[in-house]
Amino acid sequence: MEASKVIHAIYTDDDVLMSAVKTVKAEKYHIEEIYTPFPVHGLDKAMGLAPTRLAITAFLYGCVGITVATVMMNFIMIQDWPQDIGGKPSFSYLENMPAFVPIMFELTVFFAAHLMVITFYLRSRMWPFKKAENPDPRTTDDHFLMEIAVHNNEESLTNLLKNTGAVEINIVNKDEDAH
């Protein structure tokens, strides 16, 4: 079995990187990954990545939060231990709902925020003590790295990347990099 090779093209400017991504995609090459020191606006669209579904999970987690808040307040304040606080009746949840709106809002936000973070970390496979997968430490400072799989097209791909403004081009065996 042949070792899987990738080309690491390094750029020093995000605008040059964006232009290079568009050029590489127009030439029908598959970009494996791009490592950047900060989010580059529009890069996901230029790479052709599918839109995130994290907003859908946020809505669902918010629904869980408001449900938990409603059930909790109904049980605590109406069924389990009803109290006459400031003359407010405790006959039903609906009569007291205006007083419960801040709690409903806060638990909706709490559940959505915390469960979204957990979902993001699990989906990204980022857990505590995980070894960094960043192939070049300069991408955490001021360089951008585009990783493209090589399929017997090293020379043409290298020439294309030089023309797009890459300041450094390295051919790396992915299997050796993983160890």
Entry pTM: 0.70
CA separation for the pair 167, 161 (Å, rounded): 9
Whether residue 60 sits in one domain with residue 119: yes
Which residue range is the domain that position 141 belongs to? 5-51+134-178
94-150 pLDDT, tens digit per residue, is 878 888 899 999 999 999 999 999 998 998 888 888 888 888 889 889 999 999 988
**CB of 78 closer than 8 Å to CB of 96:** yes
Question: CA-CA distance, 166 to 23, in Å (whole number)?
Answer: 12
Mean pLDDT computed over 8-12: 93
- 67 and 78 inside one domain: yes
Find all residues with CB under 8 Å of 36, minimum gap 6, and list them.
14, 17, 43, 139, 144, 145
The CATH code of the domain that includes 141 is 3.30.70
More confident residue, 57 or 85: 57
Residue 129 domain-assigned (yes or no): no
Report residue 119 CA to chain centroid gap. Answer: 10
With a cut of 70, say whether residue 1 has pLDDT above it.
no
How far apart, in Å, do the first and last CA atoms of the chain sit? 17
Rounded CA-CA distance 176/104 in Å is: 52
Residue 128 falls inside a structural domain? no
148 & 103 share domain: no
The answer to whether residues 118 and 65 belong to one domain is yes
pLDDT at 82: 80
162 part of a folded domain: yes
Q: How many domains does the chain have?
A: 2
Residue range 85-89: mean pLDDT, rounded:
70
In a domain, 33, yes or no: yes
Same domain assignment for residues 63 and 114: yes
19-62 pLDDT, tens per residue? 999 999 998 888 999 999 999 999 989 998 888 888 899 999 99
Q: Confidence class of residue 179 from pLDDT cuts 50, 70 and 90? A: very low
